[in-house]
Structure formats: structure tokens, C-alpha cells
Amino acid sequence: MSFDFFLPCPRGLEAALASELAEIAAKHLHGAPFAAGSQVPGGVHFRGGWAAGMAANLHSRIASRVLLKIAHRPYRSEQDIYALAVEQRWEQWFSANETLRVDVTAIKSPLRSLEFTTLRVKDAICDRLREVSGARPSIDTGMPDVRVFAFLTATDCTLYLDTSGDPLFKRGWRLDKGAAPLRENLAAGILRLTGWSAGTPL
């Protein structure tokens, strides 16, 4: 089975991330289905099996997260977004026993309040799980078990399930923070743009 993924990254590193994904596919997927998708400002789309998503989580040095696309549809109001979210089979991915966080980002959305939209997505997920299991998940904005992202354009809403947990630049590469730390994925992307490769002087 193939899934649609979106990997956000620092602006300006989309081409570097797409190149890195192709290398990851060649080195770690051993012929498993993988299709590079479009580059958009702030990230790269790709399609592949579950192993492809996990390989991206394990090996990408440039991506911030690996997001699994759940649904996509035009909208005109917060109620349309609620309807889209409540229709999804969230119970396939997690249960009411896990804690939940919902984040909404938008570009040119006509909606007045992203906070209210965030609440509608959260309510839809909780209502769906209560309907199928009789229980609602608890909300934890600090250390949630599950993160759901909604991305709004002027006309469309896309729902994503985070497969990474903490951002990938927090994988423990830096043990001590300086006064102005540089995120590891941004540093890796800058190095890639210079053409540097391991084993050569920096």
C-alpha cells in the first residue's frame, strides 16, 4: 500500500531535500515503491509505502517532520473543515487512550480565526473517536502521543498525521545548546548546498 507524505523543511532547501529523498530511496528502500512529488515553498511531497515514510524519518537530515496525508478537500467555512475531519477513520491510526495535539497553519485562508479552526478539528477527531469507542482522547499540547496538522490554502484543507513525534532536528545530535543554536536540519541543508561530502575537509 502506498501513502502520500509531505516533508516540511526550512525555506530554500526544498531542492536539497528532494535530492536527499532520492538518495534515501536508492540506498535504503531496495526497489520499494517510491515516487518523488512536487516541491512547494517549505517542503516536498512524495508517495511511497510505510517503509518509505520510516526511512525518511530515520535518514533525512533536512526534513523537519514526515507528515502522512489523511485527507484533502475544498472548504468554505470552519464547518466544512469539521465535516472533513469527522469523516476520517482516525481509529485506524490511534485510540482515545493516546493524548492529542492539533496544529493549524494557513496561507491566505479567508477564515477569521485559526484558533477556532484548531478547536473544530480537535472536536471532530474527539467526536469521531467517542462515536466509535465511547471515549475521547485527552489534549496535551506539550508532550502529545499524537499530532495532527491541518494546512489551509485559500480554498483547500489538507489533514496530516505526524509520523515523527518531536521535530527531526531534535534527534539528539546536539547535547549542549549555545546562545544562538542553529537547527541541525538547517545546518545539514546548508552543507548540502555547498556540495560538501563526508570525508573531505570542511
Domain with CATH 3.30.70 in the chain: 1-66+163-197
- For residue 80, the number of C-alpha atoms closer than 13 Å in the C-beta half-sphere is 12
CATH number of the 74-157 domain: 3.30.2130.30
| Number of neighbouring beta carbons within 10 Å of residue 160 | 23
Domain with CATH 3.30.2130.30 in the chain: 74-157
H or E, element range at 86: helix 78-87
Q: Given this model, what pLDDT does residue 29 score?
A: 83
CATH number of the 1-66+163-197 domain: 3.30.70
pLDDT, one tens digit for every residue, the chain (202 residues)? 899 999 999 999 999 999 999 999 988 887 777 888 899 999 999 999 999 999 999 999 999 999 999 999 999 999 999 999 999 999 999 999 999 999 999 999 999 999 999 999 999 999 999 999 999 999 999 999 999 999 999 999 999 999 998 877 766 555 555 555 666 666 666 666 666 777 777 6
What is the reported pTM?
0.84
Tell me 151's DSSP state.
E
User: Is the CB of residue 14 less than 8 Å from the CB of residue 45?
Assistant: no
Q: Given this model, what pLDDT does residue 1 score?
A: 85
